[in-house]
A and B are shown apart, each in its own frame.
Chain A
């Protein structure tokens, strides 16, 4: 199919050159078009759900056919980069969150999406895919990180459940009471990683980067305190790396086995916790001086080279905000849609465990903005995660780790 497409694109390209000689105006598209959409979001079980959305779109737009390509999540970035290098990217393609959006936008890969009705979207999510007031991507789904807790363990230890007013100190106090080494029960679990660190910085009134993004801003007393908040749980209220912390599924298995009282993780594990015998619920994560939450979103962008920009943008909007999309997502329990109209999301609230599903939406009201630095994004994330784990393992002090991270990342930012 691509072969034909490339041939077609080649012909279209020549035609465009000829046309450009005659007229500068882009002719309005007429006749049936086929656009391509490359995605990872449906991979691993939601392929049929995506097909339903495509069918609904094609029904509403009989002139447009969407040709879908689905790639494994882990390798999507490699395939997309290769396509972009060769100029063979799809008309519409998935963007794996704001951190992937940054480099794509900076390098002019994404087409500006004019005339999008922004009011239908959750503003904070929409804004993470805009640069200089111009929209370059549309959020298709989001998840956030909340605090899971095992009510049975709380009851047994006589500790009251987490509330929206909790701060770090409350969580620490509860975690210490809940930890029972003899019984193999741990009070708390929070990953030690970049994704947690930029968030807890905001929870402590700090930021990862300075205002103009030229230097890191975390190596401050507040930033050090935030790093301690992550690192110090290890070995006191949370298992150490040696005990298995940090390996795949370790934390969720511990929680499912009823050996973990509190767990910081995303709402994506609702499904796998459904059959857990324990009573559990969720709450918005406590902050220290501020409430801030990590929100992960996926988005779609339209290629700047797309020959069918209008049709592509139409599909991007449909995929991110149409009622058909919202319904498919809510019915199937796929990730949450990014629309503003909470009334449409109400069915989500009473879909069973956990009871406090409102916390999912409450968390999304205070989003800790993720730093975005363009090409060096992944390298920056790798550096800070690596250094924090050094501190967690006790091979460095927190202060040394942050000093090292500061030096390395500042060098990266300087280019």
Chain B
């Protein structure tokens, strides 16, 4: 499959035996990628089909064409008490989390990559260590802590623990490491300080990584379950994953509505991803890396 993988468009290739091999590789690559894509798409398709099958249950083999397709499940989903509210709540939390994480991650990553100071290695190790303990065991102490701050059942209580992410800091630090030092040097000679280098050189050059972090931060907040579950109790504050979990009853679950909820919950993330990946790819053109 040769050059198609790593280099420019096929048309540039001269007509030769090598070009034929390249063409075969090109076709093969497409076939593999498209078959793979179908496999990746299948569960989502299955979710959609179940969501438009009235009274669907978890059958052993889902029918690929539902007998009486209907959007009834979606109507019922939105008729659920505060469903639109729940979606808005989730959006609000996800947007705030994402914006704040982009700020806290990029500044910290800059310090860890570009600002030497004594004990930096240890500090970074402590940052990384915050990822290494399971959330399940932190829930109760965190809950008690926020109780003393009187932040239970508030958005702020749900948000504060998500404000800094070692994952994001690490991701951006790796990206900043890849930005050539010569760029900083040139700017420093021009008299730029850290703030100008950060805003003027580093941030524009790590756009792909920032776009990637945007997707992950949003996704992390959008899907988070355990912490919002325990900290947000008022119905008007609840988030989407908790509302979806609420569709599974003690004994009986409405699978069509649950799957409709799944579809609804996937769409904003997919949209964000498709939007963000434009920046992931554009990064090169605008970065000025040579």
Contact = CB atoms under 8 A, between A and B. Distances in A.
A161 interface: no
A256 B60 CA distance: 13
Given A6-B150, A44-B250, A44-B253, A85 B144 contact: yes
A66 to B, nearest CB: 13
Given A1-B153, A73-B250, A269-B251, A253 B147 contact: no
A268 interface: yes
Given A45-B249, A73-B249, A143-B251, A6 B140 contact: no
9 contacts: A1-B153, A3-B152, A44-B250, A74-B245, A75-B226, A79-B233, A82-B140, A88-B147, A253-B59
Contact of A43 (B226, B230, B249): B249
A44 B254 CA distance: 8
Contacts of A2: 152-153, 233-234
B60 A248 contact: no
5 smallest CB-CB distances across A and B, nearest first, come from A44-B249, A2-B153, A268-B251, A72-B245, A249-B58
Nearest to A44: B249
Nearest to B230: A82
Contacts of A70: 235, 246
A75 B140 contact: no
B84 to A, nearest CB: 16
Interface in A231-271: 244, 247-250, 252-253, 256, 266, 268-269, 271
A271 B252 contact: yes
Contacts of A253: 57-60
Contacts of A71: 229, 233, 242, 246
Nearest to B234: A1
A7 B246 contact: no
Contact of A3 (B151, B235, B254): B151
Contacts of B60: 244, 250, 253
B159 to A, nearest CB: 15
B143 interface: yes
A272 interface: yes
B71 interface: no
Nearest to A250: B60
A86 interface: yes
Nearest to B144: A86
B73 to A, nearest CB: 13
Contacts of A38: 233
A315 to B, nearest CB: 18
B241 to A, nearest CB: 9
B272 interface: no
B278 interface: no
Given A82-B140, A266-B251, 18 more contacts: A2-B152, A2-B153, A2-B234, A3-B154, A6-B147, A43-B249, A44-B249, A44-B254, A47-B81, A73-B248, A73-B249, A82-B143, A83-B230, A86-B140, A86-B147, A253-B59, A269-B251, A272-B57
Interface of B: 55, 57-60, 81, 139-140, 143-144, 147, 150-154, 225-226, 229-230, 233-235, 242, 245-255
Contact of B58 (A1, A43, A81, A248): A248
Contacts of B253: 44
A87 B252 CA distance: 32
A258 to B, nearest CB: 14
B interface: dominant SS? loop
Which bucket holds chain A's interface residue count? Answer: 35 or more
Contacts of B233: 2, 38, 69, 71, 79
B230 A79 contact: yes
A119 interface: no
A252 B59 CA distance: 10
B42 to A, nearest CB: 19
A72 B139 contact: no
B47 to A, nearest CB: 16
B15 to A, nearest CB: 56
Contacts of A82: 139-140, 143, 230
A40 interface: yes
A78 interface: yes
A143 B140 CA distance: 33
A51 B205 CA distance: 56
Contact of B234 (A69, A73, A86, A271): A69
A195 B159 CA distance: 40
Nearest to B247: A44
Contacts of A79: 229-230, 233
B254 A88 contact: no
Nearest to A43: B246
Interface in A201-247: 244, 247
Contacts of A275: 55
A184 B255 CA distance: 25
Contacts of A69: 233-235
A78 B229 contact: yes
B147 A45 contact: no
B138 to A, nearest CB: 11
A86 B57 CA distance: 39
A250 B61 CA distance: 11
A38 B233 CA distance: 9
B147 A72 contact: no
A47 B55 CA distance: 20
A143 B242 CA distance: 26
B248 A72 contact: yes
Nearest to A7: B150
A85 B150 contact: no
B260 to A, nearest CB: 15
A70 B247 CA distance: 12
Contacts of B242: 71-72, 75
Contacts of B249: 43-45, 73
